[in-house]
Structure 1
Amino acid sequence: MNIVASAVTLYVDDVAASSTFFTTHLGFHESVASGTYACLVRPDATGDIVLQLRGAGERPATGVVVTFTVTDVTGEYDRLVREGVTISVPLRDEPWAERLFEMTDPNGIVIRLVEWTAPAGL
């Protein structure tokens, strides 16, 4: 597997408050932000922090999601299925040009593998 980036998603009750904490005290800055979501980055960090409003989105927002951006998400999906890993979110294409799937480790930690794709119609 070739991991090219990583992120940790933290589900919070107040995205703005957490974003302010990370930007004020830890040197992160917002690369993308909305009322329910913020992606925080640092030029010297190897991973991003994603803040997601608890309860927003399609699945219950509890715990932590570790995301790895990979170079061949379809190949990794096929390999992990062959190895008997239980896939919790099947491989799919998102409208914002992301191809992803999720699995859950034995302790309930969600691991998302993702690859950026060309937007539909290009």
Structure 2
Amino acid sequence: MKTSELSACFCTPDVQACRDFYRKHFAVTIIFDCGWYLNLRFGESGPTLQFMEPQGEMPVFGGVGVTLNFKVEDVDAEYQRLVTEGLGILMPLEDHPWGDRGFSVADPIGNSLYIYSDREPTEEYRQYYRE
């Protein structure tokens, strides 16, 4: 299989809350929005994320167990910005031995958003990198 793009779509009755959250805190571009289905783009040509209201008997996402990872240039600046904007912090900003510095917040439907910048891993973790 040759994949040209990969994205996630979450089935939720809270499409409006997700639209408002990601526009306010992550400056996304709305690519498509018919009310019940929403397609968001991060940056000019970055990844996309979709939200849709349940259609028929579709199961609704329960908000447990999903973490979306956001690699950013300056994690400290993003942490400060999101705290100032009033977002609750799930995991504090800290350095991790596996090679990043990051923190977590939650979106309106319970996704954990892990925001991080790369750091040099400790010797213990350096051995696990393949590239």
Q: TM-score range by the shorter chain?
A: 0.3 to 0.5
Structure having the higher strand fraction is 1
Rg larger for: 2
Q: Report the TM-score, using the length of structure 2 for normalisation.
A: 0.45
Q: Which structure ranks higher in relative contact order (CA pairs < 8 Å, sequence separation ≥ 6)?
A: 1
Q: Report the TM-score, using the length of structure 1 for normalisation.
A: 0.48
